[in-house]
Amino acid sequence: MIPLISDDAALASYCQRIAASALLAVDTEFIRQSTLYPKLGLIQLFDGEHLALIDPLAISDWQPLKAVFANTSMVKILHSCNEDIEAFATIGIEIISPLFDSQIAAQLLGWGTSVGFANLVERITAQQLDKSETRTDWLARPLAEKQLNYAANDVLFLYPLYQALQQELSTEQFKLLLAEGEQLMQRKEQKLAPEFKYLEVKNSWLLTPRELAVLRELVSWRYQYAQQKDLALGLVLKDAQLFELAKRRPSTVESLLNIPDIPSRDARRHGQTVIQLIEQAKALPQEECPQRFYHQEDFIGYKQEVAALSAVVKQVATEQQLPAEFLSVKRQLNEFVNWCWRVSDQQRMALPLPEYCQGWRKELLLPYIKIPKHIATQA
């Protein structure tokens, strides 16, 4: 049976043993069924020689692993790592550098947008991974030998995947992947403040200023409530429900029951708070309500702006011989549109810089994008 590292001294010893390694395959197992944050149940590491399964429920001193992850001479290999990054943040690990994501590498090679780990393993090694433990409760103890072997395979196979992918990648593609790894880590630090999270709600740009004021209050409250209770956002209220509340602006708890898909239990649990927030937004002076768009004299329209940016992305991707979905996803495009047009000049100063204006994307995209005059100096 594969032993678990379950004390600080054993973790420190392992980290010291691999300190000079050039590569480290990394994976996590976590539970995230109803919580806002992932609950770490296991950490798997493999440097090509030394395998470690770490029990995060038993470790209190993460400094040795922090040092390993911050060691820029050692490439950390992960697959589809966004949630792994979030999971590591829950134990204070904020730096993973350099970071190589094998799913993004497959995308860059034109093998597909979201290639699963098992499919990638089968493509490269012709072996089929056991998927029988995908629904394991990784917080339960003790973990069975079959569960530990399943978890270990994730890094045991990830290591040769990296070697195979690296042979397929050009030098420039490899550099681009490491640059994207840096961007993935920065993204975690650049999330919107609660008062701006309404911008991420689908179709919120269709709402009137007063409706946006209501949406802003409700979305901000939901996020802060979810943080306090560690609840998934959708278990508090779903985006579609908040959108409908912003449009209808009910004035009594009873009228909440007329909103489609709001269960009576949620109306009872959050009703008074929701009605109070709606009334506060209703009472705001018009000039304090968010506008649909600012600088409208220069704005060509939301759909037209999105279409123009999408065309730029396709053009640059073709010229650079990159998959368009690697260069930009819809979230990044919407982020740029929101930053340009959906906040005031003063509010923009409090927002993170869009990814179109950072790192390698800035170098490729900004020469082709018509930057609005009111943000030219900031971009």
Catalytic site residue from 14, 150, 162, 223 = 150
How far, in Å, are 38, 58, 234, 239, 346 from residue 33 at the CA level? 8, 22, 11, 18, 38
Catalytic site residue from 14, 27, 239, 294 = 27
Contact in structure between 27 and 158 (CB atoms under 8 Å):
yes
Instruction: Specify whether 37 is catalytic.
Output: no
Instruction: Specify whether 356 is catalytic.
Output: no
Phi, psi of 4, rounded to the nearest 5 degrees: -90, 135
Closest by CA to 347, choosing from 337, 335, 336, 339, is: 339
Catalytic site residue from 14, 29, 198, 217 = 29
Phi, psi of 30, rounded to the nearest 5 degrees: -150, 165
Catalytic site residue from 47, 55, 154, 180 = 154
Q: Looking at the chain, how many residues does it have?
A: 379
Exposed (0-12), middle (13-18) or buried (19+): which is 275, by Cβ within 10 Å?
buried
Instruction: Specify whether 29 is catalytic.
Output: yes
**Residue 368 has what DSSP assignment?**
T
Q: What is d(CA 100, CA 177) in angstroms, rounded to the nearest whole number?
A: 6
| Total Cβ atoms within 10 A of residue 329 | 14
Instruction: Specify whether 150 is catalytic.
Output: yes
Closest by CA to 29, choosing from 75, 92, 71, 84, is: 84
Q: What is d(CA 96, CA 70) in angstroms, rounded to the nearest whole number?
A: 6
Catalytic site residue from 14, 47, 55, 84 = 84
Q: What is d(CA 84, CA 199) in angstroms, rounded to the nearest whole number?
A: 25
Give the catalytic positions in this structure: 27, 29, 84, 150, 154
